[in-house]
Structures are given as structure tokens and as C-alpha cells.
Amino acid sequence: MNIIIVGSGEIGTHIALNLAKESHSIVVIEADERIGGELGERLDARIMIGDGSSLDTLIEANIGECDLFLALTSDDNVNLVASSLAKKLGARQTICRVHPGV
């Protein structure tokens, strides 16, 4: 299964590590170069440093071949835009993390 994960915080990292154990093809898009580098040392996956809500970044991640897209950053706006673009660009299933209102 081709999986793209935007955001490698606690949830994104946990999911990526578990999915990698099941031999899925994983791309993680992370905005922070340091965090992305640290994850790259722990995970057998393609790590991209960039904006997950960017059309160019999603195309470079091969979004058209994506079976599962997960937007898991701490920024609701990034997650909503990324998920919307992913769906329009052909991701088969899209999951968007949205924080509850205060």
C-alpha cells in the first residue's frame, strides 16, 4: 500500500513506524528539517522536507498513486488544505486530523 503522512509529530511518527513494520511504501512530509532528519534515522521510508499543504510537494510525493493519505500536523489549516488537495489529486482514502474547538 502506498501511504503518505504529513506531519511527523508524536502521532505521525507512531503511525509511520507501525506501518513500516508491515512493509508498506511510506512517504513522510515534514516541515521541520531537524525532525525529518531524526525520523529518517529511525524509519525505512522516504522523508521529504516541505510544506504538506503545497501542491508541488504533494505532486513530488506522488499523490496520484497514494492509497492512504494522513494529514496529522498540529495545524488544522495545513491538515484541511493538504487533505482537500490530496483527495482532488487522486488519493484513494484521506484522513485529516482536526483538533476540537475550545
Per the domain annotation, does 82 fall within a domain? Answer: yes
Give pLDDT, residue 102.
56
Per the domain annotation, does 50 fall within a domain? Answer: yes
Per the domain annotation, does 18 fall within a domain? Answer: yes
Return the CATH number at 23.
3.40.50.720
Per the domain annotation, does 1 fall within a domain? Answer: no
Strand order across the beta sheet in which 2-6 lies: 46-49, 25-30, 2-6, 68-71, 93-96
Domain extent for 41: 10-96
Ranges under pLDDT 70 in the chain: 102
Give pLDDT, residue 63.
97
Per the domain annotation, does 102 fall within a domain? Answer: no
| The model's pTM | 0.95
Give pLDDT, residue 43.
92
Per the domain annotation, does 59 fall within a domain? Answer: yes
Per the domain annotation, does 3 fall within a domain? Answer: no
Give pLDDT, residue 13.
95
- In three-state secondary structure terms, 9 is coil
Indicate the residue type of 44: D
